[in-house]
C-alpha cells in the first residue's frame, strides 16, 4: 500500500483516533462519538493496520498511547481542526454547536473564579458546546498549545512561541485566606509578624519556593511552609479549623471565601502584580466555536464579573 495515497483511507478513523487518545478507553470514546464499543474496537484494529503500530496498549487504567500514537496526535488534531475551521468558514454564524468542544488550559484558580460565568455565557451563545477545562501553567503552556492539547489557555505569560497570539486580560494581585476563628475578634487585617509566624499552605505546580518567600527574604524574614498542594480547590480543607494561612491570587481568594466562609485578608507584604493573558494558535480563531469562547473569556475578566484586586 502506498502510505501517501489516502484515496482508500476512511478519514473517520482520524476522529476515532482523537477520541481514543483523549478519552483513554474504547467505551468512553464510543460514548463521545455516539458509536458502539465494538465499532470503535474495529476502528482501532484498522488504525493499527494503517499505521503498522499497536497505537494503544491496554493497561489497568485503560488504553495508553504508544510513542507512535503520541507522535501522530498533534498532526491528526491539526488536520481535524483545519477541517472544523473550513466548516466554520462555510457557516460563519452557526446556531447549534452540538458535538463540539473547546479545550481551555488554566490553573484551577481561574476555573474557580470564572468557570461558572463562562459556562453561562456559552450556554447562551453556543448551545450544545462543551467547554473542557485542562490544567496548565506558564512553563508548559506553549508546548500544550502547539501540540493541540488545548485551543485556548489562560496563564500569567508564557506565550512566546512563533505561531501563537495573546491578549492581556488584566493584572493579577494577591490576598490571604485564613479561618476567621484563628483571628482575634474584630480583626480584619494581619500583621507581618503574625503572617510570618503562622504555618503556611503553598499552592504551586511543582516548586518549593514562591513569590512570598522571595519578598519575605527581601525584608529579612522567612516563613514556615507546613504543606504544599498543586490545586487551589483543596485549600478550604487544609485551612478550615487551623491557624494556617495561604497567600493566593485575589480572584481565587474571593471565589473560595465566598463559598466556604474562609476570610480574605489583605497581604501584609507588598507583592508584585502579574499579567493575566489568554493565548491561542494564530489560526484558531477562524473556528467560530473557539472565537466565541475567546470573546467570552475576555468578558469574564471584566471587573463586573471577577475581582482581581
Are residue 281 and residue 239 in the same domain, yes or no? Answer: no
Count of CB atoms situated within 10 Å of the CB of 80: 16
Q: DSSP code of 196? A: H
Last residue of a domain, one of 74, 103, 127: 74
Residue-wise pLDDT tens digits, 109-156: 999 999 999 999 999 999 999 999 999 988 889 989 988 889 999 998
Assigned domain for 79 exists: no
Residue-wise pLDDT tens digits, 186-213: 677 899 999 999 999 999 887 788 899 9
Are residue 187 and residue 251 in the same domain, yes or no? Answer: yes
Strand-strand pairing, 101-105 and 152-155: parallel
Are residue 25 and residue 107 in the same domain, yes or no? Answer: no
Can you give the CATH number for the domain in which 41 is found? 1.10.10.10
Residue-wise pLDDT tens digits, 214-270: 999 999 999 999 999 999 999 999 999 999 999 999 999 999 999 999 999 999 999
Coil, helix or strand at residue 188: coil
**Count of domains observed in the chain:** 3
Are residue 194 and residue 234 in the same domain, yes or no? Answer: yes
Are residue 184 and residue 243 in the same domain, yes or no? Answer: yes
CA 291 to chain centre: 17
Are residue 285 and residue 167 in the same domain, yes or no? Answer: yes
What pLDDT does residue 78 have? 83
Reported confidence tier of residue 6, pLDDT bands at 50, 70, 90: confident
Q: What is the residue whose three cell numbers read 466554520?
A: 88
**Nearest residue to 296 via CA among 174, 167, 171, 173:** 167
What pLDDT does residue 205 have? 80
Assigned domain for 1 exists: no
Last residue of a domain, one of 23, 45, 74: 74
Are residue 185 and residue 251 in the same domain, yes or no? Answer: yes
Are residue 151 and residue 207 in the same domain, yes or no? Answer: no
Q: 128, 100 in Cβ contact below 8 A?
A: yes
Coil, helix or strand at residue 61: coil
Q: DSSP code of 66? A: -
- Containing domain of residue 187, as a range? 174-265
Are residue 65 and residue 196 in the same domain, yes or no? Answer: no
Are residue 66 and residue 105 in the same domain, yes or no? Answer: no
pLDDT value at 2 more than 60? no
Assigned domain for 5 exists: no
- Spatial distance between the Cα atoms of 296 and 291, rounded to a whole number of angstroms: 9
Can you give the CATH number for the domain in which 243 is found? 3.40.190.10
pLDDT value at 283 more than 60? yes
Are residue 245 and residue 179 in the same domain, yes or no? Answer: yes
Question: How many residues can be counted in the chain?
Answer: 309
Are residue 154 and residue 283 in the same domain, yes or no? Answer: yes
Amino acid at each position: 500500500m502506498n502510505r501517501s495515497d489516502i484515496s482508500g483511507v476512511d478519514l473517520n478513523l482520524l476522529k476515532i483516533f482523537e477520541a481514543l487518545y483523549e478519552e483513554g478507553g474504547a467505551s468512553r470514546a464510543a460514548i463521545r462519538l455516539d458509536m458502539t464499543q465494538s465499532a470503535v474496537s474495529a476502528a482501532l484494529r484498522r488504525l493499527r493496520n494503517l499505521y503498522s503500530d499497536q497505537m494503544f496498549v491496554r493497561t489497568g487504567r485503560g488504553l495508553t498511547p504508544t510513542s507512535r500514537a503520541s507522535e501522530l496526535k498533534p498532526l491528526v488534531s491539526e488536520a481535524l481542526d483545519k477541517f472544523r475551521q473550513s466548516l466554520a468558514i462555510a457557516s460563519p454564524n452557526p446556531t447549534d454547536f452540538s458535538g463540539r468542544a473547546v479545550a481551555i488550559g488554566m490553573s484551577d484558580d481561574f476555573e474557580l473564579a470564572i468557570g461558572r460565568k463562562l459556562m453561562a455565557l456559552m450556554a447562551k451563545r453556543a448551545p450544545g458546546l462543551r467547554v473542557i477545562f485542562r490544567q496548565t501553567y506558564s512553563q508548559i503552556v506553549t508546548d500544550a498549545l502547539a501540540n493541540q492539547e488545548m485551543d485556548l489557555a489562560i496563564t500569567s505569560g508564557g506565550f512566546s512561541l512563533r505561531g501563537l497570539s495573546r491578549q492581556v486580560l488584566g493584572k493579577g494581585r494577591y490576598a490571604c485566606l485564613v479561618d476567621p476563628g484563628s483571628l482575634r475578634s474584630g480583626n480584619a487585617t494581619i500583621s507581618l509578624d503574625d503572617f510570618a509566624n503562622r504555618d503556611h499552605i503553598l499552592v504551586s505546580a511543582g516548586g518549593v519556593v514562591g513569590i512570598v518567600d522571595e519578598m519575605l527574604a527581601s525584608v529579612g524574614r522567612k516563613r514556615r511552609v507546613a504543606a504544599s498542594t498543586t490545586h487551589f480547590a483543596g485549600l478550604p480543607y487544609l485551612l478550615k479549623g487551623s491557624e494556617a494561612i495561604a497567600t493566593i491570587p485575589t480572584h481565587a481568594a474571593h471565589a473560595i471565601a465566598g463559598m466556604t466562609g474562609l476570610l480574605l485578608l489583605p497581604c501584609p507584604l507588598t507583592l508584585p502584580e502579574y499579567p493575566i493573558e489568554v493565548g491561542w494558535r494564530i489560526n484558531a480563531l477562524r473556528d467560530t466555536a473557539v472565537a466565541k469562547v475567546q470573546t467570552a473569556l475576555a468578558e469574564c475578566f471584566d471587573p463586573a464579573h471577577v475581582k482581581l484586586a
